[in-house]
Chains A and B, each alone.
Chain A
């Protein structure tokens, strides 16, 4: 009884530590992004007025600084933003005339959907090709699998995206992303068409590391005693591969997938740009150009919260995948 209670305490304390460290990370990110935006040259006024800022007189500039709230001391600006952010007010985008929350409500599902599609396609391709390669290491099929991994890592997303867009548009007169973006609940078929190719590009990028991780994890596991025993007991090869080898190799694959999903949330900027998807990546990029502090800060915090949450969820999945971790 005492043992169980000790274990429980341990679990609770490790969860507590995990959450506390996540909060500290988020705080660090909030300070970092806040400071970086203010260290780089330019501000919301130059972002909004461009070279015409030169036509403004000092009084107008002072009024604009007050209007944009950048006349306050930095500490006050940070506290004001944090207070608003924590109460659900993400700030206001002057360029679009909308609240950052409203913009994020539209952009976040696009990016999340894209990241999900990319991850799912990447995991399916990565595990399948990884298993395919690992079945006969050193063979031609292994070479083929590894070549795919190398190419997928080497070809930049923007090259692949541009090639797909150009070929599909020029040869087949097909570029659904140049039509109005349709969320899945409005027009699922159009949404599928608009997400298919960007999802594939991201999927290929995810597949490469997943494939390499899968291959090495499988090769490591396949030499274990329990696999030999399973084969010795006459268990069919396919069953051994899936139930024993793959199952016991899942930890690094899950870790890699979690990391890749996190990266996809922030790394889809270029793909969103080329495929004209109104996602978070574009929102942040355009806001940085315009030096819209509230939009950049709040959007980055949304990314950070999601990244940290995914990491915690990945830890939880470990426990599910490998009972020894419990």
Chain B
């Protein structure tokens, strides 16, 4: 009897385990791509999208006038050609013929005008309004649009890219339907199907897409809250695509998966509030800058996956990371600056960090803390959550902060808002000067690449020599796909638009 009981128990347990292990969940059908995301999307209005998940998902549904390609070149999107007048105050765009919205209606200049007007209307709280605020008027006719600007602004062309500059149907705008689940209507390669809050966003291919119907039938963004679990899902075959930010998780990606490591435009910096003591003393800022080895930060915080940068990460105008007062760590200089600042015995300050903002932030904090200690500088980490960080950051309620900032393909859109005295984030940046104001105005007005290169080099020098911030490094971005996913081209902007060309074997 006892033996029989034992056999029964072992039998049931074995059947259970075998059932569970062998009857593994069915894999997704061949042309259905599942993308793992850690955070759910938070809105359906593309022009108001700020979270990475929302930007990536809606970026497949909506189109913009221009696109940024793999080499960060500006290429045609819904506009096929463009040109500025000699003064740089008028931008004329010619639109693509035969483009249709997903509801079947035709796309034309009226939609462009309505979309840009919607972005410019402060009531709509569009995320990219500041980038096109120099538009004075818009004239639309057929497939031609003319933007008249209040001042010369060549970089505005690059600002027309992205989901925040999504072109919407003028009918939807007039009806007040934008952002409503039943009215998601773009010109992008995929159509919105459903959003199950906290779980998934489902898209299906747009067969009438102007760039040709995508090869994938569906794309599902599935919320799996940790990157480690997303990697497990990739290994299990239930997810076929993911963007990973943690170098530690990226190191565990097996050879059964394909990994794309690409340098992005985003950068990590020790932001300094130069309007607050003791950082209102230039020598203190320079001492901090000279006591830090950026290469060491990359090695310890990002497992070596990153490159040391200067202020500007935009490829065409990239700053030389060696052109700074201390290109390498120099403790003697650091101590000399400290003595000159009146702190011969060192000083103590706090640095605000939100480790959940980006995977390398906690490591950066620890690395900086130990490096600065060698120069007699005690850095205390003030650890806060994301929302607290944002709130205090906006109020400039910090001496220093470790920030993960997004880069842009044009330095004007990247830094005007931070380092010009009238920029909307200048309070946060904590530094401005008449020289910078003048240089940024010149950069905006110039249409010559040579001239602009010289201008942004001067801006870099001004920022570095005054140690406005301590620019650290640009982390690599990791996109991981299943082996059967082919044709993906990573974009440094973080957009997943190139899923339109992806196939699954």
Write the residues of chain A forming the contact surface with B, with a CB cutoff of 8 angstroms. 40-43, 46-57, 59-60, 63-64, 93, 95-98, 103, 106-107, 162, 165-166, 168-170, 172-181, 190, 193, 196, 273-276, 278, 282-283, 286, 288-291
CA distance A276 to B198 in the complex (A): 9
CA distance A97 to B45 in the complex (A): 11
| Interface residue B449 (Cβ < 8 Å from any Cβ of A) | no
Question: Judging by beta carbons under 8 Å apart, are B127 and A52 in contact?
Answer: yes
CA distance A256 to B181 in the complex (A): 46
Neighbour of A172 across the interface among B24, B230, B386, B390, CB < 8 A: B24
Residues of A within 8 A of B229 (CB): 165, 175, 177-178, 274-276
CA distance A52 to B387 in the complex (A): 12
> Could you tell me which residues of chain B, from 205 to 239, have a CB within 8 Å of some CB in chain A?
222-226, 228-233, 235-239
Residues of B within 8 A of A95 (CB): 40, 42-43
CA distance A196 to B13 in the complex (A): 14
Can you name the residue of chain B whose Cβ is closest to the Cβ of A181? B199
Residues of A within 8 A of B238 (CB): 175-176, 178-179
Write 24 A-B pairs (CB below 8 A) sorted by A numbering: A41-B391, A42-B391, A43-B391, A46-B390, A49-B127, A50-B390, A53-B390, A54-B424, A55-B129, A57-B122, A63-B123, A95-B43, A96-B42, A96-B197, A97-B43, A97-B197, A166-B228, A169-B233, A169-B236, A176-B24, A179-B25, A181-B199, A273-B226, A276-B229
Neighbour of A166 across the interface among B200, B222, B232, B385, CB < 8 A: B232
Question: Judging by beta carbons under 8 Å apart, are A282 and B225 in contact?
Answer: yes
Question: Judging by beta carbons under 8 Å apart, are A274 and B235 in contact?
Answer: no
Residues of A within 8 A of B136 (CB): none
Write the residues of chain B forming the contact surface with A, with a CB cutoff of 8 angstroms. 20-21, 24-25, 36, 39-40, 42-44, 50-51, 122-123, 125, 127, 129-130, 181, 196-200, 222-226, 228-233, 235-239, 254, 356, 384-388, 390-394, 417, 424-425, 427-428
Question: Judging by beta carbons under 8 Å apart, are A282 and B198 in contact?
Answer: yes
CA distance A50 to B385 in the complex (A): 12
Residues of A within 8 A of B196 (CB): 180
The residue in B21, B25, B224 that gathers the most chain A C-beta atoms within 10 A of its C-beta is B25
Residues of A within 8 A of B123 (CB): 60, 63
Can you name the residue of chain B whose Cβ is closest to the Cβ of A64? B125
Whole-angstrom distance from the CB of A282 to the nearest CB of chain B? 7
Neighbour of B198 across the interface among A42, A47, A96, CB < 8 A: A96
Can you name the residue of chain B whose Cβ is closest to the Cβ of A165? B232
Question: Judging by beta carbons under 8 Å apart, are A47 and B24 in contact?
Answer: no
Whole-angstrom distance from the CB of A276 to the nearest CB of chain B? 4
Residues of B within 8 A of A173 (CB): 24, 235-237
CA distance A203 to B20 in the complex (A): 19
Residues of B within 8 A of A276 (CB): 223-225, 229
CA distance A135 to B290 in the complex (A): 68
Residues of A within 8 A of B239 (CB): 178
Whole-angstrom distance from the CB of A126 to the nearest CB of chain B? 19
Residues of B within 8 A of A97 (CB): 43-44, 181, 197
Known pairs A175-B236, A178-B239, A180-B200; A41 contacts B125 (CB<8 A)? no
Question: Judging by beta carbons under 8 Å apart, are B50 and A103 in contact?
Answer: no
Known pairs A54-B394, A107-B198, A174-B24; A46 contacts B387 (CB<8 A)? yes
Can you name the residue of chain A whose Cβ is closest to the Cβ of B425? A54
Question: Judging by beta carbons under 8 Å apart, are A178 and B224 in contact?
Answer: yes
5 nearest CB pairs, A to B: A178-B233, A169-B232, A42-B387, A175-B236, A42-B391
Question: Judging by beta carbons under 8 Å apart, are B394 and A53 in contact?
Answer: yes
Question: Judging by beta carbons under 8 Å apart, are B198 and A180 in contact?
Answer: no
Whole-angstrom distance from the CB of A284 to the nearest CB of chain B? 12
Can you name the residue of chain B whose Cβ is closest to the Cβ of A162? B228
**Given contact pairs A42-B391, A178-B36, a sample of 9 additional A-B residue pairs in the complex whose CB atoms are under 8 Å apart:** A41-B387, A50-B386, A59-B122, A98-B197, A173-B236, A173-B237, A178-B236, A276-B224, A278-B223
Known pairs A170-B254, A175-B238, A181-B199; A51 contacts B228 (CB<8 A)? no
Known pairs A49-B50, A55-B129; A172 contacts B21 (CB<8 A)? yes
Residues of A within 8 A of B42 (CB): 48, 95-96, 290
Question: Judging by beta carbons under 8 Å apart, are B25 and A176 in contact?
Answer: yes
Whole-angstrom distance from the CB of A61 to the nearest CB of chain B? 10
Residues of B within 8 A of A60 (CB): 122-123, 125
Residues of A within 8 A of B39 (CB): 286
CA distance A166 to B45 in the complex (A): 36
CA distance A49 to B122 in the complex (A): 14
Residues of A within 8 A of B122 (CB): 57, 59-60
Known pairs A96-B197, A175-B236; A165 contacts B386 (CB<8 A)? no
CA distance A96 to B236 in the complex (A): 29
The residue in A47, A165, A178 that gathers the most chain B C-beta atoms within 10 A of its C-beta is A178
CA distance A162 to B42 in the complex (A): 27
Residues of B within 8 A of A52 (CB): 50, 127
CA distance A43 to B236 in the complex (A): 39
Question: Judging by beta carbons under 8 Å apart, are B388 and A41 in contact?
Answer: yes
Question: Judging by beta carbons under 8 Å apart, are B130 and A55 in contact?
Answer: yes
Question: Judging by beta carbons under 8 Å apart, are A42 and B225 in contact?
Answer: no
Whole-angstrom distance from the CB of A269 to the nearest CB of chain B? 10
